[in-house]
A and B are shown apart, each in its own frame.
Chain A
């Protein structure tokens, strides 16, 4: 099946710093990638939808200047959490699809802890 990787798997940073998370589709070209955030014992909340070569579409309430998304190629999307604060600590998961109707393949997630 389709494989999606994320890097890093865990990151701890100081408040006020920026953190970049990479999402890669390893064996397919992803037309669309999605970024989710999941707090403990809660479900996945969609943050933004990213199409290669175009600007990301952010969900209501998600600050686009704080969560920068770049989708430079069909196999790579990055999420940068700028000026991170402790409340940004969460599990960040990306997913990728081949075409609009197909299932989403999820990455293994990145655990971000902001001190």
Chain B
């Protein structure tokens, strides 16, 4: 079956670093995405990994290990506006088919 696991909730302090983990078991793998979603709004794209290793983009970094079925999103220098849900999504299916399977999301609360 298809399974994507993330912690339900996390809290962190403004200015700190937080790591959100994601493990997946899917029938196929063609890339992993991280999205940010504020309450009542649509998800916005943060990062994409298809090869093993770390991808860095400003305050956000994402890591992938395909052999372990594992990814994490690292947020540095946390700001209050980073309080949101963070969704891990795996692109599944045969080559060329862009279907995304989403995890339940991790609700991050950033405190002063």
Contact = CB atoms under 8 A, between A and B. Distances in A.
Given A34-B99, A101-B96, 20 more contacts: A34-B100, A42-B104, A43-B87, A43-B105, A44-B102, A45-B102, A49-B99, A91-B40, A97-B98, A100-B98, A101-B30, A102-B98, A103-B33, A104-B98, A106-B42, A107-B42, A108-B41, A109-B40, A109-B41, A109-B42
A74 interface: no
27 contacts: A32-B98, A34-B100, A41-B107, A42-B105, A43-B87, A43-B103, A43-B104, A44-B43, A44-B87, A44-B102, A45-B102, A46-B99, A46-B100, A93-B43, A100-B97, A101-B30, A101-B96, A102-B98, A103-B45, A104-B98, A105-B45, A106-B42, A108-B41, A109-B40, A109-B41, A109-B42, A111-B40
Contacts of A41: 107
Nearest to B45: A103
Interface of A: 32, 34, 41-46, 49, 91, 93, 97, 100-109, 111
A108 B42 contact: yes
Interface of B: 30, 33, 35, 40-45, 48, 87, 96-105, 107
A96 B39 CA distance: 21
A91 B107 CA distance: 18
A103 B97 CA distance: 12
Contacts of B43: 44, 93, 106
Contacts of B35: 106
A106 B40 CA distance: 13
A102 B91 CA distance: 11
